[in-house]
């Protein structure tokens, strides 16, 4: 008798997106526009984002500057477009690092169990005791300004969330018949985890990673606003809000308000997309 082993559909759950809600479609469009703007910013930006022209300081909208200029005469539109790169690159690093390491830690804890599970679980609980922003500020105070230090700090802070989620998902998958069947056939534990369990839990993990991206973007923008993120000459949405405070006092709020609007729209869009994917996976999971 031949036994055919079948797995539950994993990433295929995310492919059937034909019945998206209008809000999800709108937010997905916002995400696509922001990503495309970041990718093609050097060709789309009408000016050098760091070009100082005091003669155009606090220039209004229209004319040579479509969205005006800041207190140093730098074109606001150019800084928004180029700043999208740094604003998205940092959260991407946080999400990639925390997801890869968190999945590995959670999967090892769930599969091996026992003492290893206890040690890894207690370690992640210790990380929970340190707020991510506080940890980032401490690391920046030691290593100075830059994007690397806050990215590493926030990745460590987000890692326990991914680890705990992965552990619970793997524990549920281990109870399914297909895992026992592969074990009986002599498949190695690593092969079962990577080739069979991981594709099944990937949709939920990716949905959580999308939500984490929005929160990481907000945290990094907050650090840049405090002057603890990217260097002063690097275009970044959070830094633009910080630099635009003086312009608000002179009655020119666009250089500070526009990056705020973009941060809010991008964070909301990523959260809606991630939650929509998570809801679809939950509804389709038997």
CA-CA-CA-CA torsion sign (164, 165, 170, 173): positive
The per-residue pLDDT for 284 is 59
Is the pLDDT score of 13 beyond 50? no
Residue % of the chain over a pLDDT of 70: 88
Two tokens at 9? Answer: 């559909």
Averaging pLDDT over each range in 22-26, 124-128, 214-218, 247-251, which range is the top one?
Answer: 214-218
Residue % of the chain over a pLDDT of 90: 11
The per-residue pLDDT for 263 is 92
The per-residue pLDDT for 175 is 83
Is the pLDDT score of 96 beyond 90? yes
Mean pLDDT score of the chain? 80
The per-residue pLDDT for 5 is 44
The per-residue pLDDT for 95 is 93
Is the pLDDT score of 99 beyond 90? yes
Q: Comparing 84-88, 95-99, 104-108, 276-280, which segment has the lowest mean pLDDT? A: 276-280
Query: For the segment 133-168, what is each residue's pLDDT rounded down to a tens digit?
Result: 777 788 777 776 778 888 888 888 888 888 888 988
Query: For the segment 265-274, what is each residue's pLDDT rounded down to a tens digit?
Result: 999 998 888 8
Q: Who wins on pLDDT, 212 or 72?
A: 212
Mean pLDDT of 222-245: 82
Supply the DSSP string of the chain, one letter for each residue: ---------SGGGGT--TT--HHHHHHHHHHHHHHHHHHTHHHH-SS-TT---GGGTT--SBTTBTT-B-TT--BHHHHHHHHHHHHHHHHHHHHHHHHHHHHHHHHHHHHH-HHHHHHHHHHHHHHHTS-HHHHHHHHHHHH-SSSHHHHHHHHHHHHHHHHHHHHHHHHHHHTSHHHHHHHHTT--HHHHIIIIIHHHHHHHHHHHHHHHHHHHHHHHHHHHHTT-SS-TTS--HHHHHHHTHHHHHTT--HHHHHHHHHHHHHHHHHHHHHHHHHHHHHHH--
């Amino acid at each position: 008798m031949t036994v055919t082993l079948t797995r539950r559909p994993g990433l295929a759950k995310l492919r059937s997106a034909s019945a998206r809600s209008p809000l999800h479609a709108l937010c997905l469009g916002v995400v696509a526009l922001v990503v495309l703007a970041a990718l093609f910013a050097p060709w789309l930006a009408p000016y050098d984002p760091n070009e100082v022209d005091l003669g155009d300081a606090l220039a209004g909208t229209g004319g040579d500057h479509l969205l005006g200029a800041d207190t140093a005469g730098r074109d606001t539109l150019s800084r928004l477009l180029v700043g999208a790169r740094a604003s998205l690159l940092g959260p991407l690093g946080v999400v990639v690092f925390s997801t890869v390491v968190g999945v590995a830690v959670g999967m090892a804890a769930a599969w091996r169990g026992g003492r290893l599970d206890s040690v890894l679980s207690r370690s992640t609980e210790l990380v929970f005791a340190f707020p991510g922003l506080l940890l980032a500020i401490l690391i920046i105070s030691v290593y100075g300004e830059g994007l690397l230090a806050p990215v590493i700090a926030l990745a460590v802070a987000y890692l326990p969330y991914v680890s705990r989620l992965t552990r619970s998902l793997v524990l549920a998958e281990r109870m399914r018949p297909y895992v026992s069947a592969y074990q009986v056939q002599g498949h190695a534990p690593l092969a079962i985890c990577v080739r069979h369990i991981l594709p099944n839990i990937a949709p939920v993990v990716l949905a959580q990673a999308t939500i984490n991206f929005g929160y990481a973007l907000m945290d990094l923008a907050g650090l840049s606003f405090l002057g603890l993120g990217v260097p002063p000459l690097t275009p970044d949405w959070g830094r633009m809000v910080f630099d635009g405070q003086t312009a608000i006092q002179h009655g020119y709020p666009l250089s500070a308000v526009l990056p705020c609007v973009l941060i809010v729209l991008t964070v909301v869009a990523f959260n809606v997309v991630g939650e929509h994917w998570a809801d679809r996976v939950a509804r389709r999971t038997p």
